[in-house]
Chain A
Amino acid sequence: MASERVEATGIDRPPRGFRLVARYALLGAVTFVVLFPIYTMVIASLKPGNRVLVRPLVPDSFTLDAFRAAWTDGHLGRFLLNSAIVAVAVTLFQLVTSLLSAYAFAFLRFRGKRLVFAVFLATLLVPVEVTLVVNRRTVDQLGWINTYQGLAAPFLATAFGTFLLRQVFLQLPKDLRDAARMDGLGHLGFLREVAVPLARPTMAALVLFSFLSSWNQYLWPNLVTTETDMNTVQSGLRMLRVAAINRPNLVWAGTIIAALPIFVVLLVFQKHLIRGLTAGAVKG
């Protein structure tokens, strides 16, 4: 994201004097608004239990007790692991199924392609709320309550990924596929050797998009779990809030812990994240 320092000519000249001060003041003000809720929660979660209501804005005492308690008593460690497992599974499945179906739509010529593609696109419009009740029942009948496959099943395929990758594939020259066929490269070979390497940036984008969407699921995990240890971070936090009614700082520490992994992802993969979130806005 960080655009490299541009040549200081014309309009790209960095602001100076009053304009520079004003800009910093604005940046500072926005930083304050964005960080304030995070700051107060960090401060509160670092205080010992009996100080959490005293001078909430001042970090006057410090302990990691609440974090330890949230990790163990609050099951946050387990919740994070569950979220990670489900999100990774969903991401991998979405990637593979999207690659395969995008390939079929881009390179294969078969009867009913337009119709099938239209149906794929239509699934993008169906909000998860319409499917929740029936899907809960399906997962229940499959015996998948309290399982990772139950948490992941409804999200394993995505027309969004199919569509995204198809756009990339369509940009490859037709001759490329024909040349590869001459070289005796089969469908999977072409996909592996030629198409995937070319689609890598879009795949990275899809990976992050899928991972975040899965990580942020709120209603579904709550519907298909009845064991505390099968909750994900989101449904776990929802539950922790009532279960730890007598230990508010444990809830706050849990909130911080729940946000940390994605924050780290943000720091490490900032560039990919931008692609991931803008994937839908980028025109093919």
Chain B
Amino acid sequence: MIAARRSPTARRTRPIIVTSVVAAAGLLAGCSGSGSLLDAGNDPTTSTVATTTSDDQGPGSGGDSSTTDSSTTRAPTTSAVAVSDLAPCPTAALDAITDPVEVRFWHGMNGVNETAIDALVDEYNAGQDRVRVVADNQGGYEAVIDKFLQSSDGSRPDLVQIPEYGTQVMIDTGAIVPAQACIESSGYDTSSFLDIALRNYATAGVQWGLPFNLSDPVLYVNTKILEAAGLDPTTLPANFDELRATCEQIVASGAAPTCLSLDSGSDSGGGWFVEQWIANAGLAYADHDNGRTAPAEHVLWDEPGVVELVSFLAGMIDDGLAVYVGDNSSGQEQFLRMVSDQPAAMTIGTSAALGQVIDVLGGGTIPGLTVDDIGIGPLPGPGPTPTAVPGGAALYAVAGRDDAVVAGAWDFMRFLTSPQAQSTWAQTTGYIPVRSDAAELDPIASAYRDDPRYRVAFDQLVATADAPLAVAPLLGPMVQVRAALATAMAEIYGGGDVTATLADAAARADALIADYAARNGG
């Protein structure tokens, strides 16, 4: 290697190199840090995406860009679209098969939740002989979305689990069979489904995904600390004011050095929880009713109500009542603070972590903390009483498959959302059953009866008014938009100015939304 570079030519090229380095340095120095990456190029946000790419076939692009548009037409999100224009769901095809069909199922369930979903798959496969489901864990929701988007049609699964923040993306791929088509063609009775769960994955009369696993954030409390502070661990704070009072008493009593552990993760304290608080305050996260009545163009984080609720949280940290534990890149940092030797008395986490927490504490991993020492309360918010925007995920059958495969996927979706499966699933994981009749079946019925901690998330969701804003914001680049808000929360928790930081983040989010719309012809 070295010898080769000693050739005389190397010496001759030096002026060129020096020149280019100087040029590059000048370029960087002259306009260092001007503008966002998203603004690069001509004017991406105003021009529209051409529907054909024929004039833009790059070197060696082969035919890859023409082989792409899948069988279904692209559906606008929120303007009314007729189900008949979308991919059909031939649910009857399963009756005509001679050999069993295989359905590939991608999910993002980890830990206890993966074990539970594998058990359901096994139960389904053992219970009938027409469909064989093969489950592949992709290692989290974001991985599922990314891999689905990157894959060609042939490499995609037949059935996929996508979180609520991926709904718009799934619609925009045009690669899915809307659950609506299947519900209609099979006459599936969804009347006992929680209305809020269905609405979370529906726009303008089209049910896109079928809700499967439902969760909302709850308060995880170390009851021993509450007792030591002279508080009743069965009465947990229901709103911000009560939270502050509780925390003041805990810290003042010396029962714990700090009260609330707060993180700024996108899927937790910096993103998802803030969505909950905004809805709880009766506010919208984005315009056009969270993008539900028309495609959202702007986020509304700089509204006074949002500034106020974020200021409350920052005040908790300033006053030593809450402790900030960072970006939560491992997904469990806020919980770990509860078991450190400077423990926080409580934290906020998804109800879907309940199964994991019980598993870890049940194994005796944490000295001096048992399953019984953990209390679960609703998520306190700026409003008077707790509410919830459903999180979790929905199931999507993939279009362009053999009729029998689509029908098989739908058959499995029906199994996963059946009352019994939902009851078992809820009991092992901490997810909320998507249908009310599941809550009356064992094992979750007795869990709800015997252990009130299990039903906190359920009650919180059921109690949520059917306000239009109580469903998840529908934004294409939701992953990055969440990250933008999470960055703002991190800055604010670190002492940044609330109003300015939120306005800044909102501008970044708007740029993401505009770029997404321009690229995807929205």
Contacts and interface: CB of A to CB of B under 8 A. Distances in A.
Chains A and B touch each other in the complex, with CB atoms below 8 Å apart: yes
Interface of A: 49-50, 52-54, 121, 124, 136-137, 140-141, 143, 145, 163, 167, 223, 226-228, 238-239, 242-247, 280-281, 283-284
B228 to A, nearest CB: 22
A246 B111 contact: yes
A242 B367 CA distance: 23
A185 B124 CA distance: 66
B151 interface: yes
B1, B4, B64, B137: residue with the most chain A Cβ atoms closer than 10 Å: B1
B136 A228 contact: yes
Interface stretch (B356-364, B434-442, B445-453, B480-488): B356-364
Nearest to A55: B367
A190 B155 CA distance: 45
A243 B157 CA distance: 20
A283 B6 CA distance: 11
B139 A52 contact: no
Contacts of A167: 3
A246 B1 CA distance: 48
B155 A239 contact: no
A50 B363 CA distance: 6
Contact of A140 (B2, B112, B151, B364): B151
Contacts of A163: 1, 4
Given A121-B4, A140-B151, A245 B356 contact: yes
Nearest to B9: A118
Interface string B106-150: 100011101000000000000000000000111110000001001
A246 B155 contact: no
Given A245-B332, A280-B1, A283-B3, 7 more contacts: A50-B363, A53-B366, A141-B152, A239-B137, A243-B110, A246-B360, A283-B2
Given A53-B367, A167-B3, A245 B137 contact: no
Contact of B137 (A52, A137, A243): A243
Report, nearest first, the 6 A-B pairs whose CB atoms are least far apart: A50-B364, A246-B111, A239-B139, A245-B111, A145-B155, A246-B356
Interface residues of B, number: 34
B3 A243 contact: no
A53 B365 contact: yes
Nearest to B138: A226
Contact of A136 (B150, B356, B366): B150
B8 interface: no
Given A145-B151, A247-B111, A280-B1, A227 B360 contact: no
Contact of B136 (A52, A136, A223, A227): A227
Contacts of B33: none
5 contacts: A223-B150, A226-B136, A242-B331, A243-B139, A244-B110
Interface string B93-115: 00000000000001000111010
Contacts of B140: 242
B256 to A, nearest CB: 19
A60 to B, nearest CB: 13
Nearest to B357: A246
A279 to B, nearest CB: 9
B154 interface: yes
A239 B136 CA distance: 12
A244 B213 CA distance: 19
A24 B154 CA distance: 61
Contacts of A283: 2-3
A142 B363 CA distance: 47
A244 B111 contact: yes
Contacts of A143: 154-155
Nearest to B359: A246
Contacts of B106: 226
A242 B114 CA distance: 11
A268 B420 CA distance: 56
Nearest to A241: B330
Contacts of A124: 1
A226 B2 CA distance: 41
A223 B151 CA distance: 10
Contact of A243 (B114, B339, B359, B367): B114
A79 B505 CA distance: 41
Nearest to A139: B155
Nearest to B5: A121
B2 A242 contact: no
Contacts of A239: 137, 139
Contacts of B147: 226
